[in-house]
Amino acid sequence: MVPEIGHFALILALALAACQAVLPLLGAHRNDAAMMSVARSAAVGQFFFVAVSFFCLTWAFLQDDFSVLYVANHSQLALPTGYKVSAVWSAHEGSLLMWILILAAWTMAVARFSSDMPEKLVARVIGVLGVLSIGFLLFALLTSNPFERLIPAAVDGADLNPLLQDPGLAIHPPLLYIGYVGFSVAFAFAIAAMIGGDLDQNWARWARPWTVTAWAFLTVGIALGSWWAYYELGWGGWWFWDPVENASFMPWLIGTALIHSLAVTERRGLFKSWTLLLAISAFSLSLLGTFLVRSGIIVSVHAFATDPTRGFFILSFLTVVVVGALVLYAWRAPALDSSAGFRLLSREMFLLLNNVLLVIATTLVLLGTLAPLIVEMLNGGKISVGAPWFEIAFLVPMIPLIFLLGLGMHTAWRQQNKQPWLRLLRLPAIAAVIIGVVLPLLFYGRVSLMLAVGSIAAVWIVISSLIQPIRSWRRKEGAAAITRAALGMCIAHLGMGLFVLGATVVSAFGVESDRSMRVGESVDVSGFQFELRELREVQGPNYTAIEGVVEIRRDGTYVGTVRPQKRQYLVQKSWMTEAGIHPTWNKDLFVALGDQLGDGAWSVRIQYKPMISFLWVAAFVMALGGIVAVSDRRYRRGAAQESAA
Amino acid sequence: MNRYLLPLVAVIVFLPFLVLGLRSDPSKLPSQYIGKAAPEFDLPTLRDNTRNLASADLTGQVSLVNVWATWCVGCRAEHGFLMQLAQQGDIPIYGINWRDNRPDAIQWLAQYGDPYVASGFDEDGRVGIDWGVYGAPETFLLSQEGEVVYRFTGPLSASHWEREFVPRIAELGK
């Protein structure tokens, strides 16, 4: 019964999404206030029914209703309750339902926080979001119904994929989707503005907080995925340039370009058509990612169960949305660009460079991701573009981007006077070079060219990001109090600096060592002694495990104990590696059990990962910067006139 | 040309690749053994530990090798169809009971019926690894000479059978 209610609620949501799409768009066209006023209530209603549907599916999981095919395939009686909930979005059908729920939630948020916007714009934005909802609801109902029955019901389920039985992965998809789907709001704003044909600076001011919020969630979502890959896959890497990782990373790169381009549009009224194009691209890349992941077109560790009809549906939807948006763009954009100029040394120029470099980086990632596909089409061969290619290609635009970032932050709009600019930045630049070279020598005892480039870049951004907050803090009473928006920018850039630092140090000084160990033996890695004290069997709720107890010492002093496990999940019979990690702020000591080699010996992978925690902390700092910037008063209601003045 | 049309043109040039990619459908994982002899194996049979099922037993006629397990829901989904195929008796089906538990598997066959001429008992999954099994269920079509002709992943159904297997079997019969 409950699954049928869920299915029915989803159909009702589709009906409401149709109202939400058609009436407000038509109303805005005809200038009909009554039709436009449907937008907000339809959005709320659609959210309600999608939420009911989502709840019904969750309920089916909690009740172990194995007469629902999706539940039977992805849950099991002995699965811990928390994972029964996260199993809802562990595979295609349920995660699509979550995608729809998040889209409806964003729409409702737009309906709620848009009272200072013109009615017509609101109606169009919500209407465009309604069109997107229709697409995804049809996708779910026609090809991916999560409520499909299994008759006769299974006695027990097939269990959740053990890889996904992990707290990091339980919250990674929701956060990632909030970011992914959030770009649909920026997209809707762009389409709405183009339909209306007017795009003023207010438009950018309204679109900006939504875009930055989505970007912040996407940042954290990607970081959590990376963190999970690091400790759960048991390899100790943190980014693999896997097609599905790239699918989430491309919208992030374009989204980053978009939030910078929006700043120019808001403050100076420039880059208007470019901003629109980025808003369209960010969401199109989200859709492309969805297509790549769910159509099975590219083989990946992440790929969902594949089905050509699903791929065909998303591809049709993607074509309609992207081609429609770009036709509108080709028609409307020419009228938008203003001819107001800016000088060579100005913030506009730096933001332009930022955009160009980020778009180049995205294009490189896109090419690398799709090259296997395209080559296969052209001559039938199967190639794979590996991490080494990406690592080199990606650095080409990134290194200049990082150095320019520190300069651009301190450059004025329109025109920057050269002398004070040089005076301000001379000292930080010299300091960055010295600290960047000395720091690795001091702590790790060596330095190389690439390492120096990375650490100088990192220190440079960190110092540069701190200049403005420190100055404003030191003259407390001064007129130049820093705005939330500027503070947010500094925090986000500080996060970027921490990230570069972590990535540089861990790739230069990380040590991986595969050893064979017996109980009682000790090995030395990077000055730490790892002793395998015992191996024992451990019983989990739905798995049995062999657990190693490894004591870590440094020159005889006790450092810590880690307990890596090799788990066998009882239903799917698959073996999972649960790494034992001893984390401190400046390094991780990582031990993973490999295979049994016979004679009581085990292969053990030991890793020393200096400053790896910086990577994830950095992502949170970046996201925090975004949130602080969004809280700036000029995005709050009623503050519009003030900031325009 | 209007430069604002460029993005549209780029997307239109790019889309056919995605469409073609969809048609090539990598979910039909190509087996590296297609056109080659199936990897050799020699397993005790499920029902009788003293008897063996080996790759040599599969030659002489066109046959199916179905990788299954009691823990696999997809295997249950395709089981009815396998029973149907076995009753028609056109093609012998050999099973590889993969990473399973012997009493459970015997019980399962007793309960749902046994479509297999014989099932090899691949307790530790070694044979599965040799054959490149990606996940149960998987079905391999073998020629008279014991060469892998086709590999199908996922639960088999009548429509898949008609579309993918019947023409290939007809081809082999010539």
Residue B24 has pLDDT above 60, yes or no: no
Give the per-residue pLDDT at A499. Answer: 96
Q: How far is CA A25 from CA A108, A134, A284, B50, in A?
A: 17, 14, 21, 74
- B29-70 residue pLDDT tens: 556 667 778 888 889 998 888 888 888 888 888 999 999 888
Choose the mutation target among B5, B12, B22, B23 for the interface with A, i.e. most A CBs under 10 Å.
B22
Percent of chain B with pLDDT over 90: 14
Residue A302 has pLDDT above 60, yes or no: no
A373–B17: do the CB atoms touch at under 8 Å? yes
A376–B21: do the CB atoms touch at under 8 Å? yes
Q: How far apart are CA A607 and CA A512, in angstroms?
A: 4
Give the number of other Cβ atoms within 10 Å of residue A352's Cβ. Answer: 19
Residues β-bridged to residue A610: A587
A370–B17: do the CB atoms touch at under 8 Å? yes
- Among A18-22, A240-244, A629-633, the minimum mean pLDDT is found in A240-244
- Among A12-21, A163-172, A204-213, A610-619, the minimum mean pLDDT is found in A163-172
Give the per-residue pLDDT at A300. Answer: 45
- Cβ-Cβ contacts under 8 Å between A and B: the total is 76
E-strand stretches of A500-600: 511-517, 522-525, 528-539, 543-554, 557-562, 565-569, 575-578, 580-584, 587-598
User: Which chain A residues contact residue B24 at CB under 8 A?
Assistant: 376-377
Confidence of residue A301 (pLDDT cuts 50, 70, 90): very low
Q: Which helix (H) or strand (E) holds B95?
A: strand B93-98
- Residue ranges of alpha helices (H) inside A269-386 are 272-295, 308-332, 347-379
Judged on CB neighbours under 10 Å (0-12, 13-18, 19+), A59 is middle
Evaluate whether the domain defined by B35-173 bears CATH number 3.60.21.70. no
Give the per-residue pLDDT at A251. Answer: 96
Give the per-residue pLDDT at B171. Answer: 85
B7–A326: do the CB atoms touch at under 8 Å? yes
Is residue B38 within 8 A of residue B148, CB to CB? The reply is yes
Residue A212 has pLDDT above 50, yes or no: yes
**Most confident among A135-144, A150-159, A568-577 (mean pLDDT):** A135-144
Predicted structure pTM score: 0.82
- A343-359 residue pLDDT tens: 889 999 999 999 999 99
Average the pLDDT over A25-35 and give the result: 94
Whether chain A has a CB inside 8 Å of the CB on B129: the answer is no
- Among A118-132, A279-293, A299-313, the minimum mean pLDDT is found in A299-313
Whether chain A has a CB inside 8 Å of the CB on B13: the answer is no
Average pLDDT, chain A: 88
Give the per-residue pLDDT at A342. Answer: 79
Region at A427 (left for phi over 0; alpha for psi -120 to 50; beta for the rest)? alpha
- Among A130-139, B91-100, B133-142, the minimum mean pLDDT is found in B133-142
Give the per-residue pLDDT at A142. Answer: 92
Whether chain A has a CB inside 8 Å of the CB on B102: the answer is no
- Domain spans of chain B, in order of start: 35-173
Give the per-residue pLDDT at A338. Answer: 67
- A371-390 residue pLDDT tens: 877 776 676 555 666 777 88
B73–A307: do the CB atoms touch at under 8 Å? no
Average the pLDDT over A455-475 and give the result: 91
- A9-26 residue pLDDT tens: 999 999 999 999 999 999
Is residue A187 within 8 A of residue A325, CB to CB? The reply is yes
Nearest to A99 by CA among A88, A110, A109: A88
Confidence of residue A574 (pLDDT cuts 50, 70, 90): low
Sheet bearing B118-122, strands edge to edge: B118-122, B93-98, B63-68, B138-142, B148-153
Among all residues of chain B, which has the CA nearest to that of A376?
B21
- A485-511 residue pLDDT tens: 999 999 999 999 999 999 999 988 988
Q: How far apart are CA B142 and CA B31, in angstroms?
A: 12
User: Which chain A residues contact residue B12 at CB under 8 A?
Assistant: 323
Residue A204 has pLDDT above 80, yes or no: yes
- A42-78 residue pLDDT tens: 999 999 999 999 999 999 999 999 999 999 988 989 8
- Domain spans of chain A, in order of start: 1-160, 512-613
Which of B17, B22, B26 is facing A312, going by the closest CB pair?
B22
Percent of chain A with pLDDT over 90: 58
